[in-house]
Amino acid sequence: MPFIHTDPGKDYLKIIEGGITASKGFEAASHAAGIKYKGREDMALVYSEAPCKIAGTFTTNVVKAAPVLWDKERVEKKDEIHAVVINSGIANACTGEEGMRICKATAEAMAAEYGKTAESVLVASTGVIGMQIPVDKITAGCKELFAKKGTSLKHGTDAACAIMTTDTHKKEIAVSCTLQSGKVITVGGMCKGSGMIHPNMCTMLGFVGTDAKVEESTLQKVVSAVVQDTFNMISVDGDTSTNDTYMILANGMADAEEITEGSEDYERFYEALNFVSTYLARQMAGDGEGATALFTAHVVHAVNRYEARLLAKSVICSSLSKAAIFGHDANFGRFLCAMGYSGADFDQNKVVLTYQSAKGELCVFDHGVPLAYSEEEATEILKEPEVTVLIDMNDGEAEATAWGCDLSYDYVRINADYRS
């Protein structure tokens, strides 16, 4: 289920309608190319009429899909990008040299539509590993996508829908950001992800377009920092995908001053990208395969940020913790256990655990001592579609948040017959 937009909390940030086409100069399209399934849109295009500076992060899995290798090269060579071509259904992973040839053929087919080289195109794929993409279908799809592209919000939404696999809903958001000069830039994005989601990039594909003017090294620094507290803090099932790709394209078409490191505008741009990325990350965590709840672990007063992250991620990654959330079971021992093997060093006699949701909050463990509480009240709190375990370490000033989902019967059902 889609989760509610949160308030950006900054007077210079405003949530606006749309996603990847919200920024000036960005167009999008979707198309049913028949890559794997018939009768569903399975290709998407993101296009900018002006060349884009790019930055990105990719899977940490040693087994990397062909599109990841293609896009990493584009980032490393600082190529100026006009287009991103995405397909769903087949991941183009573990496909050898043929997989790389398909990436090149796809990029060449799209670049031919606007008279540039293949190096001006990013490619991305999601779906089944180990299958070859029919090259004739994906290259023909490029021509169709370019003919269909447009700037409307619907074009962006259709693209966000076309990249879905086991996702139950599209994931997109956009914000406007007012710079110190009063000029306004926009940051809009879309992503997909529901399974094979785990910290250190996850089967997620994420794309953000902005009309801000930002130099590559600055853009990469912002992206790398934002990812640490957003996409790297989610988990659905503990499986780090072969295809994880998160890219931002900046075309500079807002007619605003260049954003430089160390400036106030840099901080504003960071907050804009961080908000968009946090929203998209939470969407993926809450839409985990078979999930019924978004499961948040919020660690406060930890000794440092590193340990706060370790603790939060360990709790939301625990299968027993996830099962407890699914069963609405207030078994705080599972969360403490996950904290204990996280690698963080802490005193259990300082820890306070509290359950929170729209139905209220309930403290169940206080400084090493279990508290008496109503099981009925705890169940009501844990039955909500968004549940938080607040973990107070009482040991410092650092905090971190991680997002996951419950573990339901349907997760096994979905993944047991994923190829059929």
Number of H helices, E strands in the chain: 11, 15
The answer to whether the beta carbons of residues 145 and 135 sit under 8 Å apart is: no
| Torsion sign over Cα 266, 272, 273, 275 | positive
Q: How far is CA 168 from CA 1, 182, 199, in A?
A: 7, 39, 21
Task: Enter the DSSP assignment of 7.
Answer: P
> The tokens 């590993």 sit on which residue?
129
Q: Across-strand partners of 298?
A: 390, 401
Q: Where are the beta strands (DSSP E) in 312-379?
A: 352-357, 360-366, 369-370
Burial class (CB in 10 A: 0-12, 13-18, 19+), 255: exposed
Closest CA to 269 of 212, 311, 231, 324: 212
The answer to whether the beta carbons of residues 29 and 44 sit under 8 Å apart is: yes
Burial class (CB in 10 A: 0-12, 13-18, 19+), 304: middle
Task: Enter the DSSP assignment of 234.
Answer: B
Selected catalytic residue, list 95, 126, 186, 203: 203
Give the span between the Cα atoms of 362 and 380, in whole angstroms: 11
Give the span between the Cα atoms of 321 and 365, in whole angstroms: 16
126, containing H or E segment: strand 121-128
Residue 349 identity: N
- CA-derived radius of gyration, the chain: 22
| Torsion sign over Cα 377, 383, 387, 391 | positive
145, containing H or E segment: helix 135-148
Is 260 considered catalytic here?
Answer: no
Q: Describe the chain by its helix, strand, coil percentages, rounded to 5.
A: 35, 30, 40
Give the active site residues: 203
